[in-house]
Structure 1
Amino acid sequence: MSSVDVRSPDGETTGTIELPDDVFDAPANLSLMHQVVVAQLAAARAGTHSTKNRGEVSGGGAKPYRQKGTGRARQGSTRAPQFEGGGVVHGPKPRDYSQRTPKKMKAAALRGALSDRARDGRVHVVSSFVAGDVPSTREAKDVLATLLADVERSRRILVVVDPADAMSWKSLRNVPSVHLLDTGQLNTYDVLVSDDVVFTEESLGSFLSAEATRRSRRGRGPDLTTEQVSGGAPSVAPAEGDGDVSVTLRKPSAADTAAKPAAKAAPAAADIETHPYGVGSHMALDDDSAPAGFDIKGNASSKLYHVPDSSFYDRTIAEVWFASTD
C-alpha cells in the first residue's frame, strides 16, 4: 500500500495518507479504458445533425420540362439530389450516440487510470487550498505551484474537491490549466487527459469511502445468520442482571407437532365439502335439491353453469349450486 504526503496551504507536510492498492495500484487495462472513454465521448455528442431529403426540400413539385423531345435527360423534379439546392441522399439524421456501459467496467477503468497516475507520482493531496475564510485564486495557484514543483511541467491539472467546499471552487474555477470536479464526477477520461490529479483531504476520504462500499458489494459480506435448532423458533426474553436480551430456542413437543396439521386439516375438509368452489358455492343436498339462496346449477365436469331462465336449466342435473354468477 503506497502513501502520499498531505500538504498544507503553506507548503508544509502535515501527514501522510495510505492509498489502497485496489484503487491506486490496480492493473491498467488499456482496452477497457479505451472502451469506456469512447463511450463517454459518444454520450457527450448532441446528435442533432440533420439534412433534408428530396421529399423534405420545399418546391420542386412541377416537372422542369417535358419528358421527350428536348434531347436532355428526363427529370421529374428540380429538388432531386443531382440538382443544386436539391435533397441529400442518405444524409445524417438526429440520433442518439450513447452507449450502455456497465458500472463495473467504468469503475475498473477509473481505478486503472488512477493507478497509472499514482505509479508515476502524479497523485497529490492537500489539506485545503486557502488558509483563510476568503476565496483567493492567487493563493490557490501558489499552493499548486508549490505542490507540483518537484514534478515535470504540468499543462493540465485535475482537482477533485468536495461539493460543499465552496472556498476551493471559487478559488480555482477561473484558472485555465485547472479542471475542477467533485468526487461524484470523477471519471476515466478526465484523469487520462490530465497530467496530475490533486485531491483535497476531504474529497479523497469521500471517494475512498464510496469505493469501499462498491468493493464490499462485490465481495462476500459478513455472515449475519443465527444458528437455529431444526424445528424450533427463537423466543426473546429479558435476561436477569443488566437488562440485556437473551435468545433461547425451544423445541416443539410431539403433541404440538401432531396437533397443528390436524387443526388445519379439519376446517379445510369441511370447507371443501360444503363450499367446493369457494364462497358462494354449495354442494347439493341429500335429496339433490338446491340449498336456500342457491338457485344456479353448476356442472363439475363441463365447468358450466345455468341460470333459472336458460333453456338448459331443466335438463341439467346440478352437481354444485351457486348463489350468483360472480
Structure 2
Amino acid sequence: MVDVLNSTGKKAGSVELDELYFGIEPNVAVMAQVVTAQLAARRAGTQSTKTRSEARGGGAKPWAQKGTGRARAGSSRSPIWRGGGVALGPKPRKYTQKTPKKMVRLALRSALSDRAAEGKVLVVDSWSFDAPKTKDAKAALAALGTTGRVLVVLTDGDGAAARSFRNLPEVQIINSRELNAYDVLVNDFVVFTQDNLPTSVSTEAAAPAEEDQK
C-alpha cells in the first residue's frame, strides 16, 4: 500500500501496488541479460575497416620475386605494411540479441519490485498542469521528495506534463507503453499516475489485443 499524492505533495488517497509487478523477488540474472540486449540493440554497428582488397593502390608487385635479397611481396597493401589493409578488422554488423518476451516482462517486473522495495515508487493522482511550465514541474518533484534521477511515466494525454518535465536534466519522461527494465534501473525514483500504474488486470486486458495483431 502506498500513498497517492497530488502535485503539491499532499496525500490524496492510497493504492495497493500489484504484487505481480511490485512484489516479486528481483531476478538479477534476467535483468542483466535483458539490459545487455537492450544496450546492444542501440549500437549502430556501422564501424568498418578496409581489407587489403579495399585499400587503394597496391596493384603492382613492389619488386621482383627473386634476386633482390628482400622478402617476397606481392602487394604494398598487405596488412603487415604501413598503409596496408586491416586484417580481421571490424565490419558492419548487427548487435541485436533475441530476447524472449517473457524474459523482458520478468526483467521489468523485477526492476519495479526492486524500486518498490526501496520505497522509490511514487504515485500521483494526476498532473494538473494547465499549461506547460518547467517551474511547476520542478516544484512538483520537490514536493514529492524525489532526489537524484527521476523517471516520470506518462500517457498520451499528458502533453502539458511532458513539455513541463522535458527541460529538467535530472528527469526522464517515458510513455507507459514503452516502460522497460533499463530505464527503471538507471533512475532513482519512478513516478506513476493512477491511470498508468501497472496492474495484472491491465496486462490481461492488453493480451487479447496482442494476439489479434499476430
Which of the numbers 129, 137, 140 marks the counterpart of 1:140? 137
Identify unmatched segments of 5+ residues in structure 2: 209-214
- Secondary structure of the residue aligned to 1:112 is helix
Structure 2 distance, partners of 1:142, 1:187, is 27
User: In the alignment, is the contact (CA less than 8 A) between 2:8 and 2:144 conserved in 1?
Assistant: no
- 2:118 maps to 1:94: no
Q: 2:151 matched to 1:158? A: yes
Give yes or no for contact 1:32–1:105 (8 Å, CA) kept in 2.
yes
Question: Structure 1 5/64 Cα, relative in aligned 2: closer, same or farther at 3 Å?
Answer: same
**Which structure is higher in helix share?**
2
CA distance in 2, matches of 1:132, 1:157: 18
TM-score (ref. length: structure 1): 0.61
Aligned to 1:19, the other structure's residue is in SS state coil
Question: By how many angstroms is 1:70 displaced?
Answer: 1.9
Q: Name the SS for the 2:119 alignment partner.
A: coil
Give 1:1-326 correspondences, 5 Å limit.
3-129=1-127, 131-148=128-145, 154-204=147-197, 207-208=198-199, 209-213=201-205
Residues 22, 132 of structure 1: CA spacing in aligned structure 2 closer, same or farther, 3 A cutoff? closer
Q: Over the residues paired in the alignment, what is the CA RMSD in angstroms?
A: 1.8
> Secondary structure of the residue that 2:34 maps to in structure 1?
helix
Q: Which has the higher contact order (CA 8 A, sep 6+)?
A: 2
State the shift of 1:10 in Å.
2.2
Deviation at residue 141 of structure 1 after TM alignment? 0.7
Deviation at 1:132, TM superposition (A): 4.4
CA distance in 1, matches of 2:179, 2:47: 29
Give, in whole Å, the separation in 2 of the partners of 1:17 and 1:215. Answer: 24
Greater share of strand residues, 1 or 2?
1
Q: Deviations over 1:8-43 (max 9, x none)?
A: 122211111111111100111111111111111111
Is the 2:55–2:85 contact (alpha carbons within 8 Å) kept by the matching residues of 1? Answer: yes
CA distance in 2, matches of 1:128, 1:139: 14
Distance 1:12 1:74 in 2: 83
- Name which one, 1 or 2, has greater alpha-carbon Rg: 1
The separation in 2 between residues aligned to 1:139 and 1:132, in whole angstroms, is 8
- Structure 1 distance, partners of 2:129, 2:98, is 44
User: 2:140 is aligned with what amino acid?
Assistant: V
Report the TM-score, using the length of structure 2 for normalisation: 0.91
Q: Aligned partner of 1:210: which letter?
A: S
Percent of residue pairs identical:
51
